[in-house]
Amino acid sequence: MDEKKYHLLVSEPGLHIDRRNNLSGDIMIYERNVLTPSKITVKYADVPALIDVEVDVKVDLSRKKDFDYVMRKTQKLLDFGTQKVVWIFTETQKVMVAQVNEPWLTYDWSRDIALLDGVTFNIGQYLADEGVETKTEA
């Protein structure tokens, strides 16, 4: 990732959408020309991230409450101006990618997933390369 073009924020960076409407993310990638030095403060950012990545170890998409949460948060982020929202679901070993004006797609996490500017990631392959055993569904 080109650090001259992008800011990479981790550890639950906050996003202020509007009055009493704040979200946090696991990883947010901002274009530097959007998240300018004057926008970086101790408060939540008030400009949309280019990409938001969520890693969820507890979500169970078969439960309506969890499914609704993922769908609502994704739509809020896209409506605010985030261009891509990526969810990594550890329980099911899936990755969901939602983009503005595109179908929301879900992939096996052992597949290369495009992030931006030719940068891809593959959670399953990374974990296997590191010797991390993951449970597989029967």
Domains located in the chain, CATH noted: 6-129 (3.90.1570.10)
pTM above 0.85, yes or no: no
pLDDT band at 14 (very low <50, low <70, confident <90, very high): low
Distance CA 99, CA 90 (A): 21
Residue 82 has pLDDT above 90, yes or no: yes
What are the φ and ψ backbone dihedral angles of 39, each rounded to 5 degrees? -90, -10
Tell me if 97 sits within 8 A of 105, measured CB to CB: yes
Residue 18 has pLDDT above 50, yes or no: yes
125 vs 59 pLDDT, higher one: 125
Distances, alpha carbon 86 to alpha carbons 10, 11, 20, 103, in Å: 14, 16, 24, 13
Render pLDDT for 20-52 as a digit per residue (tens, 0 to 9).
666 667 788 888 888 777 777 777 778 888 999
Residue 12 has pLDDT above 70, yes or no: no
Mean of all residue pLDDT scores within the chain:
84
17 vs 114 pLDDT, higher one: 114
Distance CA 39, CA 35 (A): 6
pLDDT score recorded for residue 22: 62
pLDDT score recorded for residue 138: 43
Tell me if 95 sits within 8 A of 86, measured CB to CB: yes
Most confident of 32-36, 37-41, 95-99, 118-122: 95-99
Distance CA 107, CA 134 (A): 17
